[in-house]
Amino acid sequence: MKKTTLFKVASQSIIKNKLRTMLTMLGIVIGVGAVIIMVAIGNGAQSQIEAQIGSLGTNMIVITAGSSAQGGASQGAGTFNRLTLADADKIKAGTTLLSAVSPVLVTRTQVIGGDGNWRTQVNGVSTDYLTIRNWAVSSGELFTDDDVRTKRKVVVLGKTVADNLFPNGNAVGASVQLGRSPFVVSGVLDAKGQSAMGSDQDDVVLVPYTTAQDRLSGWRFVSQILGSTNSTAVIPAAIQEITLLMREAHQLNGGNVPDDFTVRDQTAIAAAATSTTSVMTGLLAAIASISLLVGGIGIMNIMLVSVTERTREIGIRMAIGARGSDVLTQFLIESIVMSVLGGVIGLLVGIGGAQLLGKLTGWAIATPWSAVMIAVGFSAAVGVFFGYYPARKAASMNPIQALRYE
């Protein structure tokens, strides 16, 4: 028989039993829809985490203090701080791979001005800081290298601080007091939102690091040194270069002398966070796939019933010349059509359900095309796998016995 004829006969059989066909496809619809929703939720969470980590900075490398030991017991990272402004200057002068370098002096103080006061974090930084953090100024401007050199008392407010002190939006040019020192607001930062750790990145003010050291903290050591590269490909080489420069600056001669500093980049944080969400997405999708298995078993049961009901029909067709392969193909087509149709309907249900869930809960939703293709392809595979046995059973019937079947 021609393939088109077989497809037509199979389609007629499916249309003839509409209710049974719909009930048979229901398991596939639920399975594919559930898989799409679970994958969309997982990928949305992963994309949100990647965006939050990306908001920390572009190709950022962080140099922090090392660890100290007491009585042979390590006190942990950051307990032995020897980072100085001279280290930042040496890295900036000696690096060939970093595009920007900035020391960071961190302190907390009360900011008074405008319509109130606000206790926040003050970061003393250089003009490279916004480049490293991939940050922009929404109004006004950042302080200049001359401001850093002359220790000028200028400040750039984060969005949260600006909104609390100047709700009317007239922060630029106003005077504020940090601690006991008056400062002039030169700009307001763009909103960045929460970090991957859940902290408000906009609850901060930036001042020249020289001013912070002289007027605010008085500390000799800096909290950290930030750097960034033009490409993620050179980050490992940049870390090695920074390590060599820092060991030279701290006179850590000999390979057995441990580093008194730590150098890390954002890719490790991103990899750890995204791997966790990937595992959760895979787990959710695997659980949802059980519905596809149940749907496949339902297709097998219905096809077996169909073979039994149509035994005489099979016998007549084989008696007038139909081959076993024709019968096998016909029943496989019926099984595959129901599975693929159920998969397409399930796909639409899944995409719609994911979008609705995102609107109701506020979760980030992302449905990758790979998941769409896999879901539909898997539903077709379910039709082949679970439809083959009933089709094989129909094809192997003896025509004479089939014609005698009551």
Could you report the per-residue pLDDT of 207-234, keeping only the tens digit for each?
Answer: 999 999 888 877 778 889 999 998 888 9
Q: Model confidence over 190-200: pLDDT tens digits?
A: 988 776 566 78
The rounded Cα 139 to chain-centroid distance in angstroms is 30
Percent of the chain with pLDDT over 90: 27
Q: Which of 132, 67, 30, 105 is nearest to 350 (CA)?
A: 30
Mean pLDDT, to the nearest integer, of 273-284?
68
Model confidence band, residue 304 (pLDDT cutoffs 50, 70, 90): confident
Most confident of 268-277, 325-334, 358-367: 358-367
Q: Judge contact between 84 and 220, C-beta under 8 A.
A: yes
The residue ranking higher by pLDDT, 27 or 112, is 112
pLDDT at 272: 62
Percent of the chain with pLDDT over 70: 82
CA gap 334, 26 in Å, rounded:
15
Amino acid at 66: G
**pTM confidence score:** 0.60
CA gap 33, 351 in Å, rounded:
8
Q: Judge contact between 234 and 97, C-beta under 8 A.
A: yes
Enumerate the domain spans of the chain: 3-52+271-404, 83-259
Q: Model confidence over 227-255: pLDDT tens digits?
A: 999 888 898 899 999 999 999 888 887 66
CA gap 347, 353 in Å, rounded:
10
CA gap 338, 343 in Å, rounded:
8
Q: Which of 235, 231, 224 is nearest to 269 (CA)?
A: 235
Q: Which of 52, 14, 69 is nearest to 194 (CA)?
A: 52
Can you list the alpha helix ranges (DSSP code H) found in 260-323? 266-309, 311-319
User: CB neighbours of 285 closer than 8 A, spacing ≥ 6?
Assistant: 35, 38, 39, 42
Secondary element (H or E) of residue 338? helix 324-361
Amino acid at 203: D
